[in-house]
Structure 1
Amino acid sequence: MQNSIFKTAEVTDYIVQWLKDYALTSGVKGYVIGISGGIDSAVTSVLCAQTGLPVLCVEMPIHQAPSHVSRAKEHIAFLQNKFSNVQAVEADLTPAFETFKNAVPPSDNENLLNLTLANTRARLRMTALYYFAGLHQSLVAGTGNKIEDFGVGFFTKYGDGGVDVSPIADLMKSEVKAIGKYLQIPTSIIQAKPTDGLFGDDRSDEDQLGANYDELEEAMLAFENGIQATNLTGRKREVFDIFCRLNRINQHKINPIPVCKIPKELK
């Protein structure tokens, strides 16, 4: 669904320069990024590496599926083969996750428990990234795309949503893939089924969302153009309804944190 006029090379250069300028203006040394084995973190890490600034790639397995681990390692090898400014470290957070589970009371609601623990994984990883960012005087680079961050809110608040910069958050998934191909990201990563990897299995984003990214991208464009659900039929109407529902219930993640402003006469 990528726009035919999308200027892949120019957009890539723009993001790289934006990342470099932001880091230099902020007075930090470089970037820290979590590597999942997916296309979003792969593209973001290469963009960060192209700045020439120090980049630390962090693997943070928590009962991770073997396919995720192998793709993450493949990408880090690809990065370090191309860029001398890239370092890598692994932080196995499985023991920390298990300690947390044993420290809190269980729940009889298995669905809510599994979802809450999935979000806990993301928040443990965020904590680890900021640990490394502090040690390396760097910023945490986010990996969310436009559909996830501003469309359906498919991220964990204060988890993978807890970042310093969002280099690809104005790009649709198809545009991220186009940049991935342009950057010669390993084919195994580009073609891998998108997954958040938070449940310790191979369930995909589509399994969780009820639609794939191409479908959601079309629905988001329709939503932004003011198209009404009554103008759509069949699968397009079904996906549009999915998008609208997720967009509505996740506004607390998509919008800035609301602040209760006290009237001057009360202060």
Structure 2
Amino acid sequence: MSIQEEIIAALGVKPAIDAEAEVRQRADFLKAYILESGIKGLLIAISGGVESAVAAGLCKRATDELSAEQGKEYITLGVFQPYGEQEDFGHSYEAAKASGLKHTVETNIGDAVDEIALETEYALKAIGQHRHMTHQGKGDIKAGTRMVFQHALALENNLLVVGTGHASEAITGSCTTWEGGAADIEPLRSLNHRQVRELASYLGVPAEIITEAKAADQRAGQTDAAKRGITYEDSSDYLEGKPVEPAAAELLESFYRKGAYKRSAIPGI
């Protein structure tokens, strides 16, 4: 078995999908987990990206169907989490509207992130490092703060936090440790980015959200592709078993090895 085949098997990606069947399977997966857990519904943070838009659509379908089948209300709570004033945050509200979410709330992370960053800089100064935090460091604080708010809201409302991680992120390690990976359930895990877009089209996600370049929340204007030096088309091709340029394959395999700790449970002894 080649390294490519081993990675595909580990991440569970199919070479091709039927969007309707995948939506059905993943909505049923969410419904079964809700019933097994005895909770009242799901919480999904809506960033404006295609992944959270698809997850929101799956969650809404699952909780609507359960409400009808069980004769009591199950909800999907959509959470908007801008950092201060974000001009690009309009897609979050468009995604929620397209999914038909009735329950939404905004938790602006700006003040909390700035306070944590300031306290971190005080700590750096105390150990002799007189400097500001790096862009990456503050970006990780943003990611972690969003997840703290999500779990607090979920706990208070007896909901499960839904993650948006997928195979194209898993292979490159392009997520903050215990941010998206700290979710309770991940309905997109075995899909690559191209397949996520296929589900988005089927679910009626607005076209501008589907085609927008995914951007990192660490430096303004920086896309994930520019940051990693690999495109989602390359990673999707690779995960579907298609041939890619040797340099791209080598880079993806290197990312996969380096990001192993992000895909694993906390190690212990």
TM-score category (smaller protein): 0.7 to 0.9
* Contact 2:56-2:96 at 8 Å conserved across structures: no
One-letter amino acid matched to 1:189 = I
The structural deviation recorded for 1:131 is: 0.9
One-letter amino acid matched to 2:194 = S
Please name the residue that 2:205 is paired with: 185
Cα RMSD for the two superposed structures: 2.2
**Residues 1-267 of structure 1 mapped to structure 2, 5 A cutoff:** 5-51=16-62, 52=64, 53-63=74-84, 65-67=86-88, 69-80=89-100, 86-105=102-121, 106=124, 113-149=134-170, 151-196=171-216, 198-199=217-218, 201-221=220-240, 236-260=245-269
Deviations 1:125-144 (A, max 9, x none): 00000011011100000001
Q: List gaps (5 residues or longer) in structure 2.
A: 1-12, 65-73
Measure the CA separation in 1 of the matches of 2:221 and 2:156. Answer: 33
Identity score, percent: 22
Measure the CA separation in 1 of the matches of 2:226 and 2:204. Answer: 28
* Contact 2:16-2:240 at 8 Å conserved across structures: no
Q: What SS class does the counterpart of residue 88 from structure 1 fall into? A: strand
* Contact 2:84-2:108 at 8 Å conserved across structures: no
Distance 1:188 1:200, change over 3 A: same
The structural deviation recorded for 1:17 is: 0.7
Measure the CA separation in 1 of the matches of 2:234 and 2:185. Answer: 27
Q: What SS class does the counterpart of residue 134 from structure 2 fall into? A: helix
Distance 1:60 1:200, change over 3 A: farther
Measure the CA separation in 2 of the matches of 1:39 and 1:65. Answer: 18
Measure the CA separation in 2 of the matches of 1:256 and 1:65. Answer: 34
Measure the CA separation in 1 of the matches of 2:167 and 2:136. Answer: 23
Greater relative CO (CA pairs within 8 A, separation 6+): 2
* Contact 2:161-2:183 at 8 Å conserved across structures: yes
Measure the CA separation in 1 of the matches of 2:45 and 2:16. Answer: 31
One-letter amino acid matched to 1:124 = T
Deviations 1:189-245 (A, max 9, x none): 01111123x2252211101111111101223455xx9xxxxxx8xx71221121112
Measure the CA separation in 2 of the matches of 1:59 and 1:221. Answer: 33
Q: List gaps (5 residues or longer) in structure 1.
A: 226-231, 261-267
Measure the CA separation in 2 of the matches of 1:176 and 1:169. Answer: 10
